[in-house]
Amino acid sequence: MTDATDTVVTQQLPGAEHWQQLYRYLHEHPELSGAEHETARLVAEELRALPGWEVTERVGGTGVVGVLSNGPGPVIWLRADMDALPVQELTQLEYASRTPGVMHACGHDVHVTALLGTCADLTANPVPGTVVALFQPAEETGAGAQGMIDDGLLDRFPHPRIVLGQHVSPAPAGLVTTKSGPLMAASDSVRVTFNGLGGHASQPQTAVDPLLMAASYVVKLQHLAARQTATANSPVLTAGALHAGTRPNIIADTSEVLLSLRTFSAGVRKRMMAGIERMAQAEAAALGAPQDPKVEFFDPFPVTVNTPGDTERVMATLTAAHLPVMPMSNPITGSEDFGLFGTAAGCPSVFWHIGGIDPAGFTPEDQAHMLEEGALPHDRPSNHSPYFAPDPAVALPTAITTMVTAARSELTRD
């Protein structure tokens, strides 16, 4: 990897100012999963303004698909996700979200703008073959890719030879990180509801406290990942929320724990899910709950797997184009539904992460950490943080250049 200060893509892209303005608009107007109506409308409008693109809206809900056919040649799919998160933005940017409690905290606004910029480049400088641009809704809930597939994506549009996708990260702009094989974890959300017996806080002996069950349960769950399912790529289990009660002097009837489970193999996933249920049952029994707890698993994501061989070829192409590529030694515990497209189509898929932060903010120590540990520094806002703020001046040139380079290479490959 070259020095971080050398990784900014300085190429002047056609329509650069337009993409900056478009990004700011999208960032100011985020929309939650499945409700990306204005984003989808804008995407369709932008695509229709480009000569040669056939545009289909409402694919899998709010999804948009654009097709550019330039005669015989390969068919490639390029994907960007569109949804935002239920996060209150705290960046204080002049173009911060105008929608209370909703924010593009994962950088999907970068993805949408970059894919539109890629489409514009491929229109202005055509290559034989067919490009299918997928603007996907509801990635954050894990429902969007499957929703588009279930809506006849493979029957309605040209079948791909390969699917390409990318995701912005809090790394120096210009840097590309990925690996062959398992890249990102499978994910399951879990809701555990404990049933107790409400009462007065002054007489806890007359009640069965579900809040106490939930609190004890959350602490004990850490043993499940650390001691009972340790593997080379260990699972991650995080408690994201605990809800119970309404007043200091009232013992509640029920409590709810929300968990996020990340795994890299079907066997470990099965053991973790069984352990989550077993420990909930044991906690309820230990405190004398009047009813068994209810354990629900929802919003599943599959493991994201980069196809060996194809991944190395795409990364070699980016390296030859003087884009710094940092191979990852370990998969990421974050999750994506991108891989469902390649699986459904029975074709290779390659996904990578691109830096979106001004390299001037990275010290030599940061760079050493990235090289030695294959990981990003921990002292800066990351995806899903209310402070996460890719710098569009460097993130968009990085994202557009990377996707254009990969797409052109795959279209011209024998």
Instruction: Output the pLDDT for position 5.
Output: 34
Total domains in the fold of the chain: 2
Per-residue pLDDT tens for 191-206? Answer: 999 999 999 999 999 9
**Res. 7 pLDDT band, cuts 50 70 90:** very low
Provide the pLDDT confidence category of residue 285 given band limits of 50, 70 and 90.
Answer: very high
Residue with tokens 């000569």: 51
The reply to whether 35 and 167 lie within a common domain is yes
Question: Does residue 47 sit in the same domain as residue 63?
Answer: yes
Nearest to 359 by CA among 183, 172, 97: 172
Q: Are residues 202 and 160 in the same domain?
A: no
Amino acid at 54: E
- The whole-model pTM stands at 0.89
Q: What is the pLDDT of residues 321-379, one digit of tens each?
A: 999 898 888 888 899 999 999 999 999 999 999 999 888 878 777 766 665 555 565 66
Provide the pLDDT for residue 9.
37
CATH code where residue 208 lies: 3.30.70.360
Q: Are 32 and 84 in contact (CB under 8 A)?
A: yes
* Residues spanned by the domain of 61: 4-184+303-411
Q: Beta-carbon neighbour count of residue 394 at 10 Å?
A: 22
Interval 288-301 mean pLDDT: 96
Over residues 108-154, the pLDDT tens digits come to: 999 999 999 999 999 999 999 999 999 999 999 999 999 999 999 99
As given in the structure block, the two tokens for residue 344 are 């459904």
- Please tell me the least confidently modeled range out of 38-47, 125-134, 152-161, 380-389: 380-389
Residue 198 shares a structural domain with residue 280: yes
Report the amino acid identity of residue 130: T
State the average pLDDT for the chain.
92
